[in-house]
Amino acid sequence: MKVFFVVHGFVQGVGYRWLVKKAARKDGIKGMVRNAANGTVEIIAEAEGENLKTFEKDINVDIKSGPSVLSIEKHFEGDESYPNTAKDYEGFIIEH
């Protein structure tokens, strides 16, 4: 299953993408994370359902304030709001 996350909050310039990459490796997620021009962080994650649930919990951490203070939008592959990408990821990367 592929999911596109858009993370709102204090997530740029604080090491959040590295936190996401570490969580992805721990949870067996393939995909990418990147800063968006509008101040959010975008994540494409691919894995089995339980791994994605664990990953979503792991990334819901504000670096400065602790757990569960971010707003995370979740869009599934095939939804209108899912980005048009045919890219398949071997592992998990930070895009610049």
List, by residue number, the catalytic residues.
Answer: 17, 35
**Residue 18 CB contacts under 8 Å (≥ 6 apart), including other chains:** 94
Q: Which residue has the tokens 């997530």?
A: 11
Q: Which residue has the tokens 């959010």?
A: 40
SS3 of residue 18 by DSSP: helix
Containing 34, the helix (H) or strand (E) segment is strand 30-35
Start-to-end CA span in the chain (Å): 24
